[in-house]
Structure 1
Amino acid sequence: MLYGIAAASAALLLTAVLAALLRVPALRAGILDRRRQRPLPVLGGVAVVAVTCLVAWAGEWTKVAPLGDGVGELLVAGAAVALLGLVADVWRLRARVLVAGTAVAAACVVPYDETGFWGGILAIGWIVFASLAFKGLDHADGLAGTVGVITAFGAGAVAAAEVMDGLAVLLSVFAAALTGFLMHNWHPARVGLGASGSLFTGFLLSSAAVFTRAGYALGPTTGVLFCLGAVAAADFLLVLLARSTARRPLLRRGPDHLAHRLRRLGLTPQGAVVLLGAASFSAVLVGVLVHTGWTGEGAVLWVAGGVLFAALVLFRVPVQLPQPRRRDTSTQVRGQLRVRNG
């Protein structure tokens, strides 16, 4: 107990300091998210990943808080996904590369002896989906971090209920690291998660949830996992509806996510994040209660109905999509005349 508190405190402080220190190198190196209203350095995710791994492995090395079977491999795979995301932050990898890399990492951590082969395939699909969905949540200041902290505490509670102490400590350390990062990411953000931090967040949380539910029946497990990732699922469903009807690429970023539409309704940036954080807390609480048996599985239907209702309502909110670039016809004509006269 005392080690958990000390580890979480150290993770919070170290991440807050490291995220601040990495901001200037990110600006100088041009590792920025230029698709927002202002260029935002995105090495905050590196701080979260580095501190989480450092503190977790310190507990493993000192034998004070062993990670447990499979948890160390999960952390290594998550770090590999974060490294892939960092490459994407620097060189802009194609989406299919991120999907393939995340799937390979997920395939390495799924406990097939408890899930079975087909259950393992479904688990891989869930981990890939959750990782990309959390990457999509990184569209507004503070949103991915806030939802990540809430989900980490929920997944940690489920792990504690399963007496997976090492995994519970890891999730508490991760939640603390995200909280330290949020000190610099609350609107107006000074540093962002980037693909590195957002993919790591989704991968670690979804993999941890799979670990805690391995061996349970598929139906209840699906419900619990859905509750833990309800806000990310709602955002994905909303984007899927909007871009399918508009015939736009699904994995290309645009101002049509949850927080964007809530702001069009008049909410402030902070208000939109608080509202979505409250929704995440409610859904995660239902998931924890269903897992521990404090409420029936039917409560998941209320969460699913809320996700569907929110997606359909916000789908009706108009957004201003970026216009495709048009070539300057006058410049093109002058170029053709020069070629002809030449």
Structure 2
Amino acid sequence: MNFLSVFILTVVISVAATLLVKRLAVKFSVVDTPNLPRKIHEKAVPLLGGAAIFVSFFLALLFSLSSVLSRGLTGMQLAAFFCGALVLLVGGVLDDVFNLTPGRHFVFSVLAALVAIAGGITIVKITNPVGGLLYFGSFVSAALTFVWLLGMTYTTKLLDGVDGLVSGLGVISGIIIFLFTMTTHYYQPDVGLLAMLFAAACLGFLFFNFYPAKIFLGDGGSLLVGYVIAVLAIISGAKIAVALLIMGIPILDVAWTIVRRLWSGQNPFRAADRKHLHHRFLAMGLSQPQTVFIYYAFAIFFGILALFLQSQGKIIAIGVLAIIMVCIIFLDTFKMIR
């Protein structure tokens, strides 16, 4: 298969889908109005961008289905992948239109995770840092997968506050996972194809989402990106450490946000504020593109590093990321970042 041709075709489909979705969002007034202090855009911007990524990704996958199914992935897994993504998208669109309560919105995320697990998308084993593999029983496997899927979907949801940030990280994640699956040791062209299609779908959308954004992902889109990254990490052989390195800073930022809000007695998923790391960068005087490029740089550096590190090296790299985040939190606590 000519991966480059498929990649370019998917980008074109994504561009067309984004233009169509943008028009529909404007026509039906599904827009994000800057009516809250935490919002940094200055005028109403169309939502529903996640629908463009969803349509272009799965439409391109449909055209390439024979290549995917001829390898290790099963039809049940792909169906569960699709249905879980669809559930998230529908829930997100409903939230964008009707502003659902956090509890009702959370139901869609839980349902999407359960659908994926029921379809056989589970973390069966992970690499033991001291050697060998750690295998899990069905209950532990399902529980770990559930936490992983929810954690990643809400990471990208809470991270989606700067133009081009989440969609750009989707491009980087897809490309890194594609490169990983093309190595001789982990050769998985079926998963690589999925990762490449996802990167292309995000890239076509990113052309319109980068600063100044002409369309936003919307709630469904921000959840969808995290969900796809999480699933790709699982079906590529439970390479959770790779995804953790690519998304390390965002994950740690969201984890700190949840801890901080709980400590303050706030709902960690409802109490939106301007204390995320990207908001801190903006408060320091950095522009939106500069802030986004910092995230991109971390993701690319640690993602490429993951291609060359063994298990113990990846654990050390994750530790380095954690130390970096702790330093940032320390500075934030003492008001050195304003």
TM-score for both structures, normalised by structure 1: 0.82
State the Cα distance separating 1:287 from its structure 2 match: 3.5
- Which SS does the other structure have where 1:71 is aligned? helix
C-alpha change, 1:318 and 1:173, in structure 2 (3 Å) is same
Q: Deviations over 1:275-298 (max 9, x none)?
A: 1111122232343334x5694642
Matched, 1:17 2:16: yes
Instruction: Answer with 1 or 2: which has the greater Rg.
Output: 1
Give me the whole-angstrom Cα distance separating, in 2, the residues matched to 1:163 and 1:152: 15
Give me the whole-angstrom Cα distance separating, in 2, the residues matched to 1:315 and 1:178: 35
Give me the whole-angstrom Cα distance separating, in 2, the residues matched to 1:303 and 1:144: 19
Structure 1 gaps of 5+ residues are: 215-220, 321-342
Aligned residue in 1 for 2:246 = 228
- Which SS does the other structure have where 2:144 is aligned? helix
Q: How does 1:166-315 map to 2 (within 5 A)?
A: 166-214=190-238, 223-252=241-270, 253-290=272-309, 295=313, 297-315=315-333
Q: How does 1:74-113 map to 2 (within 5 A)?
A: 74-110=81-117, 111-112=121-122
- Which SS does the other structure have where 1:240 is aligned? helix
State the Cα distance separating 1:240 from its structure 2 match: 2.6
Looking at secondary structure, tell me which structure has more helix per residue.
1
Structure 2 gaps of 5+ residues are: 125-135
Tell me the number of residue pairs that the alignment of Structure 1 and Structure 2 aligns.
Answer: 310
Task: Note if contact 1:262-1:272 (Cα within 8 Å) is conserved in structure 2.
Answer: yes
C-alpha change, 1:296 and 1:172, in structure 2 (3 Å) is closer
State the Cα distance separating 1:34 from its structure 2 match: 2.3
C-alpha change, 1:21 and 1:262, in structure 2 (3 Å) is same
State the Cα distance separating 1:209 from its structure 2 match: 0.8
Matched, 1:136 2:158: yes
C-alpha change, 1:64 and 1:122, in structure 2 (3 Å) is closer
Matched, 1:149 2:171: yes
Aligned residue in 1 for 2:59 = 54
State the Cα distance separating 1:112 from its structure 2 match: 4.8
Give me the whole-angstrom Cα distance separating, in 1, the residues matched to 2:241 and 2:327: 17
Aligned residue in 1 for 2:50 = 45
Give me the whole-angstrom Cα distance separating, in 2, the residues matched to 1:260 and 1:310: 13
4+ runs of 1 displaced by more than 6 Å? none
The CA RMSD measured in Å over matched residues stands at 2.5
Task: Note if contact 1:130-1:229 (Cα within 8 Å) is conserved in structure 2.
Answer: no
Equivalent residue for 2:144, pick from 122, 146, 149:
122
State the Cα distance separating 1:241 from its structure 2 match: 4.6
- The one-letter amino acid of 1:123's match is T
Task: Note if contact 1:99-1:128 (Cα within 8 Å) is conserved in structure 2.
Answer: no
Q: Deviations over 1:1-42 (max 9, x none)?
A: 41x222211111121122123223212312112243322111
Q: How does 1:18-33 map to 2 (within 5 A)?
A: 18-33=17-32
Task: Note if contact 1:261-1:318 (Cα within 8 Å) is conserved in structure 2.
Answer: no
Aligned-pair identity (%): 20
